[in-house]
Amino acid sequence: MGTSHAATGVLTGAGVGVLLQADPLSTVTCALIGGGAALLPDLDEPGSTAGRSLGRVTELLSRRLRDASRAVYGRTATAVELRRPQEGGHRYLTHTLPACAVFGALAGTVALVPLGAGLVVFALAALGLGTVLRSARRLGSPRKRERTAVGVAGILGACTLLVDGYGPPAWLVGLLVFAGALTHVLGDWLTRSGVPLAWPFVVRGRRWWMFRSPVPFTTGESPVETGIRTGSLIITPIMVVWGGTALPPV
């Protein structure tokens, strides 16, 4: 589910920040970028959390990506697969390893453009934080939580542009987006539907062979997913604090 993907992406982003010995605030930014990036593969479905995240803009983008995924599936499916062709939209093209690399490369490229880094940080932080806060009902109404997410993301985006030495460099933005998207793909690998991890290579006569965990679970119906989501949200702040105390003295 979207909240689970965002939570695991937040953990991945924080982990990247800690490994690179970023300061605590920068690690939080890395975490939120990772959380937003972990939703990007689901832009192949207009009805998904990512597809509805920024209204008409992401809805149109999702429709284009879904059409592209269907077209690529139709052109690259093997003769074996075409005997029983699939829809080829959701969980196909954007859930491949090359797609994760493309997401990262595009984000890194945008971050090189003036104001680009701030825009990427704002968009992904708002997407990731907004999704995580969907389940935090104690923090107020849905509208209040959405405003909180956008407000925090706006501050982080502004800091990226205005505070010297604060914003993540373009290469780190690209790395965070790649890692977040990859976390999403690996998360879907744990489920019964699986993901085409080997694409564009052929496995057992199929280019879109769906790999899945040896012990898969059903999305939204398993305590495993709840445990993964909750564990990610608990471990992330611990990691941020630990990373700050582990920094070498200046």
Per-residue pLDDT band at 181 (split at 50, 70, 90): very high
pLDDT tens readout for residues 113-130: 888 888 888 888 887 777
Question: pLDDT value at position 249?
Answer: 44
Q: Is residue 134's pLDDT more than 70?
A: no
- Pick from 121, 117, 119: which is nearest to 129 by CA? 121
- What pLDDT shows up at residue 211? 93
- Taking CA atoms, 166 is separated from 27, 134, 214, in Å, by 11, 28, 42
Between vectors from CA 158 to CA 248 and to CA 57, what angle results, nearest 5°?
125
| Secondary structure class of 195 (helix, strand, coil) | strand
Rounded distance between C-alpha atoms, residue 49 and residue 2, angstroms: 6
Instruction: Say what the pTM is.
Output: 0.86
Residue 242 pLDDT exceeds 80: no
- pLDDT at position 4 is 84
* pLDDT > 80? residue 10: yes
Phi, psi (deg, nearest 5) at residue 195: -145, 155
Q: How confident is the model at residue 195 (pLDDT cuts 50, 70, 90)?
A: very high
CA 203, 221, 30, 14 dihedral sign is negative
